[in-house]
Amino acid sequence: MQNIATPTPTPTHCPYCALQCGMNLTPAADGTVEVSERVDFPVNRGALCGKGRTAPAVLSSRVRLTSPLVRAADGTLVEAGWDEALDRIAGALGSIRAEHGADALGVLGGGGLTNEKAYALGKFARVVLGTSQIDYNGRFCMSSAAAAGTKAFGLDRGLPFPLEDIPRTGCVILVGSNPAETMPPSLRFFRELKENGGTLIVVDPRRTKTAEQADLHLAPRPGTDLALALGLLHLVVAEGRVDEAYVAERTSGWEEARAAAMAHWPEYVERITGVPVPELREAVRMFCAPQAAMVLTARGPEQQSKGTDTVGAWINLCLATGRAGRPYSGYGCLTGQGNGQGGREHGQKADQLPGYRKLTDPAARRHVAEVWGVDPESLPGPGRSAYELLDALGRDVRSLLLMGSNPVVSAPRAAHVESRLRSLDFLAVCDVVLSETAELADVVLPVTQWAEETGTTTSLEGRVLLRRRAITPPDGVRSDLEVLHELADRLGVEKGFPADPQEVFEELRRASAGGVADYSGISYGRLAEEGGVFWPCPAGDAEVHPGTPRLFLDRFATEDGRARFVPVAHRPAAEETDEEYPVLLTTGRVVAQYQSGAQTRRVDELNAAAPGPFVELHPRLAARLGAAEGDPVAVVSRRGRAVAPARITTGIRPDTVFMPFHWPGEGRANVLTNPAMDPTSRMPEFKVCAVRVEAVR
Ligand SMILES: Nc1nc2c(c(=O)[nH]1)N[C@H]1C(S)=C(S)[C@@H](COP(=O)(O)OP(=O)(O)OC[C@H]3O[C@@H](n4cnc5c(=O)[nH]c(N)nc54)[C@H](O)[C@@H]3O)O[C@H]1N2
Ligand SMILES: Nc1nc2c(c(=O)[nH]1)N[C@H]1C(S)=C(S)[C@@H](COP(=O)(O)OP(=O)(O)OC[C@H]3O[C@@H](n4cnc5c(=O)[nH]c(N)nc54)[C@H](O)[C@@H]3O)O[C@H]1N2
Ligand code: SF4
Ligand SMILES: [Mo]
């Protein structure tokens, strides 16, 4: 018998989306890593989408960075040692601060960063740089739902219940969410819902793979979800389906919200949305028939210049019908990025301190300053939101330190953002690959990846997870935490930036204690043992707190314990169609590519499945242009022009075209998109702008 020890698999989680599927990783003899099923994690029970399955490909040094790069005198990026690269960054940031002040230093983070990194980055900006100018890409993601959830419930945790509650409810309205492409293993929950006799309603301008599984598909004109939700609420009132006892006992503000909804007659709503009145009535009937029901939103209704009000209107529908804070009922937002939930809790957001605290709250400042060992007065105030920060680059913000985002591809009005990035005095990017944004940098630092480092993420359910290191990183790379440690040291702050993630987590626990997102009762030991803990989880004096899988069952997190209705009214998108730009563009995702594509475009199998951008359009529109399947078509907005092959389908409204945003180059969808922002969340309007479509001869 051979005496070779079989390497033990390490149970860990996927690097990509917020489902954070469990997987086992085993190092192979040839230096690669094998993914195998991890059935103990209840969310995916071993199932993975193609991205998760192929994620190890990005660990190979063939596709990744393994040496720092610095901009040479001739303008090219050349390999350099770590000391030289770090010295350059610290030197540049120090001198820009000396000349222009601390607020000339910008920082942009990401919802893919672990909790430890997000925490350390926020602290680094406030304590080491002293700048207020930090924000992160979650602003482009779920910020509208977060703002609406906080308003209505007093707390924002994307899902107030675990996904496993979905099969136990009676009806789900899935608004602008395409989990068949964006979270495939989660489809199981919707399948089980139907097997249990429940119903699924999908609201999407396109007949997506998800919509195909629905009992009812409503296809509104992009940007009109607010009117749609108000129309449904109008019918709920008109048909006497309001849960009066619940409204009286558990909510406030109903009269104003009711009055606002009554102004949205079904016929008026049909005119705005294009959804026929009988379909509105059918949706209300399906939603109100069972004891329990849910509304789940994703980027469709949220990435609008009225996203906060839109989500508010869907929450109002839940509240009026008594479908929130009760078992198997409620409103939830399907957060997107791997740590999209935790990434919005620990202080990389412009207005935020760890524990989901407010930077403007004196008590919060005192608490966090004490943990950090600094004077509360020294903490800067709130900064700008992500797009506003990108727009300020090269003006009053002279440098940017970027970790975990690729805005050249993913930001709205991307050509403008790219020119702002080029106008900086200094750009430093930490990444695993040479992204389109890293290509513009003065210094690029190659960092370790998920399987090579330990850290925690918080899934879309609010479940805090331990993502374990399974393999040794290649020579030449360092972790983001090591980078912050080294930079802090060079900028004169020797303590408080440990490179060890567990040490950072221990501090995060203390910083979050007593906050909305309280992690103080969670430890690496518990996470390893229990496989995940839902926040809030305060450190009890005597007993171990079990964590909180289900929120709001007794009371909402508002001062009086009641959920708040918000009175909202429909308003048009920032840009409506006209003679010059007669078609609406909406954007989104395909299953085989992730976000800006920086990682997934480097995986052969995924590229074979989704090789490039396309323009999805209705046969009637295609016929008007004289375009056949696969012909290049140009999409032109007030901000730019993109060209990609036509994909003709009856599954899209004839007044709308769709483009995925995963690619740079001439099919870059974001050169077209409108940066018009929601006034509360500062979310740009990725989901609707006016365009003209032309055949390319
Ligand atoms: N394969 C893949 N999976 C991913 C990601 C990825 O890039 N690729 N990214 C992750 C992240 S960060 C996120 S945020 C999630 C996003 O997950 P989703 O929100 O499911 O993804 P999107 O494709 O952006 O948008 C969902 C749907 O909204 C529809 N839509 C467009 N405009 C409107 C509108 O005005 N109203 C309504 N009701 N619907 C509209 C689109 O047609 C689309 O089908 O996915 C996560 N998972
Ligand atoms: N038109 C349009 N545009 C959109 C959207 C849309 O629906 N339509 N959706 C928006 C949404 S929801 C999102 S979330 C954004 C996402 O868009 P981006 O913010 O660009 O997100 P990613 O492409 O995931 O970029 C992450 C970058 O960080 C790197 N990276 C990954 N892990 C780490 C790490 O641990 N450390 C460091 N230092 N780097 C890391 C990756 O290689 C990659 O280059 O796009 C937004 N843009
Ligand atoms: S669904 Fe999301 S978490 Fe699961 S394997 Fe795919 S990308 Fe990874
Ligand atoms: Mo996202």
- From the CB of residue 546, how many other CB atoms can be counted at a distance below 10 Å? 12
Distance of CA 616 to the CA centre of its chain: 24
Residue 227 clears pLDDT 80, i.e. is over it: yes
Write the CA distances from 265 to 222, 231, 235, 333, 502, integer angstroms.
19, 6, 8, 27, 55
- Give the integer Cα–Cα distance in Å for 628 and 178: 26
Cβ distance 587 to 686 under 8 Å?
Answer: yes
The response to whether residue 404 sits with its C-beta less than 6 Å from ligand 2 reads yes
Does residue 330 have a pLDDT over 60?
yes
First vs last C-alpha separation in the chain: 69
CA distance 441 to 435: 10
Q: From the CA of 591, give the closest atom in ligand 1.
A: 1
Q: Which ligand is nearest to the CA of 182?
A: 1
Tell me how far apart the alpha carbons of residues 149 and 143 are, in angstroms, rounded to a whole number.
10
Answer whether residue 3 shows pLDDT above 50.
Answer: no
Q: Cα(307) to centroid of ligand 4, in Å?
A: 14
Kindly report, residue by residue over 241-280, the tens digit of the pLDDT: 999 999 999 999 999 999 999 999 999 999 999 999 999 9
Q: Tell me if 635 sits within 8 A of 659, measured CB to CB.
A: yes
**489/487 Cα distance (integer angstroms):** 5
Secondary structure in 3-state letters for 503-542: HHHHHHHHHHCCCCCCCCCCCHHHHHHHCCEECCCCCCCC
Please provide residue 560's backbone torsions phi and psi, each rounded to the nearest 5 degrees.
-90, 5
**For position 187, what pLDDT does the model report?**
98
Tokens of 166: 């979905």
> Atom 1 in ligand 3: which residue has the minimum CA distance?
183
- 224 ligand 2 Cβ < 6 A: no
Could you tell me which residue, 662 or 61, shows the higher pLDDT? 662
User: Are 162 and 461 spatial neighbours (Cβ–Cβ below 8 Å)?
Assistant: yes
Pick the atom of ligand 3 nearest to 50's CA: 6
Neighbours of 62 (CB within 10 A): 8
CB of 112 sitting under 6 A from ligand 2: yes
Whose alpha carbon is nearest atom 6 of ligand 3?
49
**Residues 229/311, Cβ–Cβ less than 8 Å:** no
DSSP letter for 279, please: H
Biggest distance spanned by C-alpha atoms of the chain? 80
| 512 neighbors 518 (Cβ within 8 angstroms) | yes
Report the atom number in ligand 3 closest to the C-alpha of 17. Answer: 2
Mutate to test the pocket of ligand 1, among 204, 225, 601 (most ligand atoms within 8 A of CB): 204
Number of H helices and E strands in the chain, helices first, is 22, 30
Pocket test for ligand 1, best of 208, 589, 603, 614 (most atoms within 8 A of CB): 589
How far apart (Å, rounded) are the C-alpha atoms in residues 438 and 408?
Answer: 9
Q: Does residue 158 have its Cβ closer than 6 Å to ligand 1?
A: no
Asked if 161 and 551 count as a contact pair (C-beta separation under 8 A), the reply is yes
Cis check for the bond before 536: say yes or no (omega within 30 of 0).
Answer: yes
pLDDT above 90 (res 479): yes
> What local confidence, expressed as pLDDT, does residue 8 receive?
87
410 lines ligand 2 (CB under 6 A): yes
User: pLDDT by residue (tens digit) across 187-212?
Assistant: 999 999 999 999 999 999 999 999 99
User: What number does the ligand 1 atom closest to the CA of 687 have?
Assistant: 32
3-state secondary structure of 70: strand
| Closest Cα to atom 12 of ligand 2 | 141
> Over 70: is that where the pLDDT of 329 sits?
yes
Q: How far is the CA of 339 from the centre of ligand 1 (A)?
A: 17
What is the number of residues in the chain?
A: 697
- Percent of the chain's residues with pLDDT above 90: 97
Taking only the tens place, the pLDDT of each residue in 381-405 is 999 999 999 999 999 999 999 999 9
What is the pLDDT of the chain when averaged over all its residues? 97
Q: Whose CA is nearest to atom 30 of ligand 1?
A: 300
Residues with Cβ within 5 Å of ion ligand 4?
A: 141, 336
Q: What is the pLDDT of residues 66-85, one digit of tens each?
A: 999 999 999 999 999 999 99
Q: What confidence score (pLDDT) does residue 2 get?
A: 46
Tell me the C-alpha to C-alpha distance, in Å, between residue 161 and each of 166, 168, 175, 462, 468.
9, 12, 18, 8, 25
Cα 548 to middle of ligand 2, angstroms: 29
Count the neighbouring beta carbons within 10 Å of the beta carbon of residue 492. Answer: 9
CA of residue 32 to ligand 2 center, whole Å:
25
| Alpha-carbon span 458 to 259, nearest angstrom | 38
Quick check: CB of 596 below 6 Å from ligand 2? yes
* CB of 595 shorter than 6 A to ligand 2: yes
Contacts (Cβ under 8 Å, ≥6 apart) of 99: none
Q: From 137, 159, 178, give the residue whose CB has the most ligand 1 atoms within 8 Å, as the site to mutate.
A: 178
Cα 478 to chain center, whole Å? 25
Least confident of 46-55, 349-358, 393-402, 533-542: 533-542
- Which residue lies with its CA nearest to atom 6 of ligand 2? 588
Q: Is 598 in the pocket of ligand 2 (CB under 6 A)?
A: yes
CA of residue 52 to ligand 3 center, whole Å:
5
Q: Tell me the CB-side half-sphere exposure of residue 419, using CA atoms within 13 A.
A: 4
Integer CA distances (angstroms), 358 to 51, 146, 516, 517, 604, in order: 36, 14, 10, 12, 44
Q: Record the tokens describing residue 271, joined without a space.
A: 């005119």
Ligand 2 pocket mutation, candidates 63, 107, 595, 639, criterion most atoms within 8 A of CB: 595
The owner of tokens 């020294």 is 378
Q: For a pocket test of ligand 3, which of 35, 41, 49, 188 has the largest count of ligand atoms closer than 8 A to its C-beta?
A: 49
- Is 343 a pocket residue for ligand 1 (Cβ < 6 Å)? no
Alpha-carbon gap, residue 617 to 239, rounded angstroms? 37
| Residue with CA closest to ligand 3 atom 8 | 52
| Nearest alpha-carbon partner for 141 in 299, 17, 295 | 299
Cβ of 157 below 6 Å from ligand 1 = no
What is the helix (H) or strand (E) element at residue 583, kind and residue range?
A: strand 583-588
Rg from Cα positions in the chain:
24
Q: What is the pairing mode between strands 399-403 and 426-431?
A: parallel
Please spell the DSSP secondary structure of 610-669, one letter per residue.
Answer: S-S--EEE-HHHHHHHTPPTT-EEEEEETTEEEEEEEEE-TTB-TTEEEEE----GGG-G
Positive/negative CA dihedral, 614, 636, 307, 126 = positive
Q: Average the pLDDT over 343-369 and give the result.
A: 97
Q: What is the DSSP letter of 404?
A: S
Q: Ligand 2, residue 303: give the atom nearest the CA.
A: 7
Percent of the chain predicted with pLDDT > 70: 99
For 273, which DSSP code? Answer: H
**Rounded to an integer, what is the distance from CA 679 to the centroid of its chain?**
19
With CA atoms as reference, report the closest residue to 134 among 146, 120, 147: 120
Residue nearest to atom 25 of ligand 2 (CA): 405
Cα(179) to ligand 3 centroid in Å equals 11
Q: Is the CB of 661 under 6 A from ligand 2?
A: yes
Can you tell me whether residue 576 is helix, strand or coil?
Answer: coil
pLDDT digits (tens, 9 = 90+) for 639-670: 999 999 999 999 999 999 999 999 999 999 99
Query: What pLDDT, in 10s, does the model give residues 578-618?
Result: 999 999 999 999 999 999 999 999 999 999 999 999 999 99
Which amino acid, 224? T
pLDDT band at 1 (very low <50, low <70, confident <90, very high): very low
With beta carbons less than 8 A apart as the criterion, state whether 430 and 447 touch.
yes
User: d(Cα 264, Cα 383) in Å, to the nearest integer?
Assistant: 37
Question: How far from the centroid of its chain's Cα atoms is residue 433's Cα?
Answer: 21
Residue 4 banded pLDDT, cuts 50, 70, 90? low
pLDDT of residue 5: 62
Indicate which atom in ligand 2 lies nearest the CA of residue 138. Answer: 14
Question: Hey, what are 111's tokens?
Answer: 């919802």
Q: How far from 310 is each of 223, 315, 573, 678, CA to CA, in Å?
A: 9, 9, 12, 10
Q: Ligand 1 in contact with 589 (CB < 6 A)?
A: yes
Q: For residue 340, which atom of ligand 2 is closest to its CA?
A: 14
CA distances from 96 to 106, 129, 207, 442, 443 (A): 11, 11, 51, 14, 15
Per-residue pLDDT at 697: 81
Distance CA 193, CA 169 (A): 7
Ligand 2 within 6 A of 16 CB? no
**Residue 67 CA from chain centroid, whole number:** 29
Residue nearest atom 35 of ligand 2, based on CA coordinates: 113
Ligand 3 binding site (Cβ under 6 Å of any ligand atom): 14, 16-17, 19-21, 44, 48-49, 51-52, 183-185
Does residue 601's CB lie within 6 angstroms of at least one atom of ligand 1? no
pLDDT at res. 428:
99
Angle at 569 between CA 382 and CA 204, to 5 degrees: 90
Q: At what angle do helices 307-320 and 254-262 cross, to 10 degrees?
A: 110
Instruction: State the closest ligand 1 atom to the C-alpha of 595, by its place in the atom list counted from 1.
Output: 7
State the SS3 of 181-247. HHCHHHHHHHHHHHHCCCEEEEECCECCCCHHHCCEEECCCCCCHHHHHHHHHHHHHHCCCCCHHHH
Q: Give me ligand 2 centre to Cα 596, in Å.
A: 6
pLDDT at 24: 97
